[in-house]
Structure 1
Amino acid sequence: MPEFSLYRHLDEMAPWNDRLQVLEVIGVSDEAPQVKTFTFRSDAQTWFRYKPGQFITLELPVGDEPLMRTYTLSSSPSRPFSVAVTVKAQPGSVGTHWMFDNLAVGTRIRAFGPSGDFTHHNHPAARYLFVSAGSGITPMMSMLRWLNDCAPWTDVAFVNCARRPEEIIFRKELELLGSHMPGLSLGFLIEERSSRESWFGHMGRLDAVRLPLLSPDFHEREVFCCGPDPFMRAVHNMLEATGFDMAHYHQESFGAPPVETPPPAKAEAGAAQPAEATLPLRFASSDIDSHCVAGQTVLQAARASGVRIPAACEFGLCGTCRVRKVSGEVEMNHNGGILDEEIGEGYILACCSKPLTALEIEA
């Protein structure tokens, strides 16, 4: 039995801290074929503060080196005592299959976050259009659950695409929310019929003909899209072709943004090549003095020195590699994985920070 009381008021609890506490599994449920929801609470009875649509990074003890995997929260911050991720086991997905085989009630696991800016809170609007496919429904479900709890009158058109009827994730809950939220309109679109379940709804792939049938006024809505990359690309191109104002289009992606690499400068004949500059780098918690080669990130230097800094995306989005800078200056080019107030407190993202001076960090 836990030593603490099972019930405390929210104002008696502190927010969850990903550096001090881990997650404990309190529920595992099937959502669709090869899709499960894992629900967690804090092992220190803290509450979860995040925005609907954000994600966390789980540290999965798969092999000799932990596997870092990023999953969107399907839960809502309006219910702050637990968080949940809903994951689909794709062929070859090592981390998700490990979760299916090993996570059970009582299992404890490390996590980092929450992070991400794919949330309707950043883009308030009178009307929304949520477009999703497959497990891309998870951030939409987080946002819709929040709206149901806090603003149930909101006008939301929800379009979800799946291969077969039984593969529509959260279908029963969505239909229930449709009966409770007067402004919610649901549009399901499947690609093929199934012998397991009859279907009388829309069929085919989402295109410029079917979208107006599912959301006639989509031009007047703030659009959020999530799903496989080819799906999001198709939705983006389709909206753009209709003249939609793409400033009101938002999509979730964990892929690295394209980086333009400038061509190498040509050295003059006979010119001496400069020696590769290095800067001192100290890892305070590990008590290791090392160095960082010019152009190398703090994360790369840490790995070369045998210092482990957890990292998942490695392009400044997930925030997993956040460490505190004790002294020194860095050049940091992140993609939203760290808050301005965290930077003000001295934190950096090791994956996208390059030392400009001698540097000491807590790692």
Structure 2
Amino acid sequence: MPKPRLNWAVEPWSDDEPLECVMVVPETRDTATFIFRAPSGAWFDYQPGQFITLDLPVDPAKGPAGNVQRTYTISSSPSRPLSISVTVKAQANSIGTRWMLDHLKPGMRIKAFGPAGIFSFHRHPARKYLFISAGSGITPMMSMTTWSWDQAQDTDIVFVHAARTPSDIIFRERLEQFAARVPGLQLRFTVEKPEPFKTWHGYQGRLSQIMLGLMAPDYLDREVFCCGPEPFMQAVREMLVSLGYDMERYHQESFGTPVASEAEAPVIEDIAPDGESRAQVVFAASGVTAACAETDTVLAVARRAGLNIPSGCTFGLCGTCKIRKTAGEVHMVHNGGISDEDIAEGWILACCSNPLGRVVVEV
């Protein structure tokens, strides 16, 4: 059998050349990995975690005018430079991704641009990392983890991933194979619900402060990379802020809007309680109004005012201190003790709710 030829004399791939799809690998029920090579044999040079933009002929009958451009994080690693992969997940009302899943086959060639992006641990060297992802936000984490594996680096990575069910965890088997062979990779999966008649030994439920502390007790010492839907990333940021994490060491990438340069990086304007800002809690049923700081919890303000709100755990888990808010806004970071439906109806947990300005509660 002839040995495969590696044409290292060829220059690195540039977007003047199309990509040829050479393989389509099903990952989950609505996710697939598309593997591309350069027809010339060119190799791919990029940083793990970066993205590429594909020019997709969603309506070939209309010619180039029918194309759409979609950006996808590269799920492969530059340590394996002869091909490049993107892993796509079907979303509601998606156009480009839906076309890829339905029509893109081996042998087809498409135009591509890039790679680009600033979301890579190459830009932020650290001794220990914490990767946090949800859904298809796992793709840049997979690229960075594969790089570490291939380089045989003595990297300490805690890899946290959230999914709907165990079968929705993209790359699960591959990651477990990595983790089974190196002590420095620790996998922590959490799912919304397990599957019927199948044993699940991982975490279950929404990612919370308590869960994060169990998954990575030394999270304060780790460089954090986060990717997923914006509500998920916002929840992660709020958890880390409330736990005292240094947010200068936090890095994120939305799989909906990847960032190509530092200048394009959006300013994160999360609302956070300020110890210097004054607030006020009105306990309507008791006829008591109490001044406080934004960093005080409603439960602490009530106790200082001599009012009794039943409570248990005091960190947003048990739900004992649930009360209704009728006016104003609070900043609440809980640990699963209240449902999204209750929050929508105005309920809060007094133990982990900080008043932002004037707040009225039924106490």
* CA RMSD after TM alignment: 1.8
The reply to whether residue 72 of structure 1 matches residue 69 of structure 2 is no
Equivalent residue, structure 2, for 1:121: 122
Work out which of the residue numbers 11, 14, 18 in structure 2 matches 1:14.
11
1:1-363 to structure 2, matched below 5 A, reads 7-10=5-8, 12-18=9-15, 20-63=16-59, 64=62, 65=65, 66-195=67-196, 197-253=198-254, 317-318=259-260, 334-335=263-264
Checking the alignment, whether the CA contact within 8 Å between 2:220 and 2:245 is kept in structure 1 is yes
2 CA distance for matches of 1:82 and 1:13? 14
Structure 1 128/81 Cα, relative in aligned 2: closer, same or farther at 3 Å?
same
2 CA distance for matches of 1:84 and 1:247? 30
1 CA distance for matches of 2:45 and 2:178? 24
Checking the alignment, whether the CA contact within 8 Å between 1:166 and 1:196 is kept in structure 2 is no
Three-state SS of the structure 1 residue aligned to 2:115 is strand
Per-residue deviation, 1:200: 2.2
Q: Which amino acid aligns with 1:106?
A: G
1 CA distance for matches of 2:236 and 2:260? 24
Three-state SS of the structure 2 residue aligned to 1:144 is helix
1 CA distance for matches of 2:58 and 2:93? 14
Structure 1 203/255 Cα, relative in aligned 2: closer, same or farther at 3 Å?
closer
Equivalent residue, structure 2, for 1:288: none
2 CA distance for matches of 1:318 and 1:62? 24
Per-residue deviation, 1:185: 0.8
1 CA distance for matches of 2:28 and 2:256? 25
Q: TM-score, normalized by length of structure 1?
A: 0.68
Per-residue deviation, 1:318: 4.5
Per-residue deviation, 1:83: 0.3
Equivalent residue, structure 2, for 1:306: none
Per-residue deviation, 1:13: 1.7
Q: TM-score, normalized by length of structure 2?
A: 0.68
Q: Which amino acid aligns with 1:335?
A: E
Per-residue deviation, 1:116: 0.3
Per-residue deviation, 1:151: 3.4
Structure 1 318/59 Cα, relative in aligned 2: closer, same or farther at 3 Å?
farther
2 CA distance for matches of 1:196 and 1:102? 34
Checking the alignment, whether the CA contact within 8 Å between 2:24 and 2:105 is kept in structure 1 is yes
2 CA distance for matches of 1:60 and 1:229? 25
Per-residue deviation, 1:135: 0.3
Checking the alignment, whether the CA contact within 8 Å between 1:152 and 1:182 is kept in structure 2 is no
Please list every run of at least 4 consecutive aligned residues from structure 1 whose deviation after the TM superposition is greater than 3 angstroms. Answer: none
What residue ranges of structure 2 are gaps of 5+ in the alignment?
266-363
What residue ranges of structure 1 are gaps of 5+ in the alignment?
257-312, 320-332, 337-363
2 CA distance for matches of 1:183 and 1:254? 26
Structure 1 36/80 Cα, relative in aligned 2: closer, same or farther at 3 Å?
same
Q: Which amino acid aligns with 1:44?
A: S
Q: Which amino acid aligns with 2:186?
A: S
The alignment-based identity, stated in percent, is 52
2 CA distance for matches of 1:206 and 1:142? 23
Per-residue deviation, 1:179: 1.1
Per-residue deviation, 1:216: 0.6
2 CA distance for matches of 1:160 and 1:141? 11
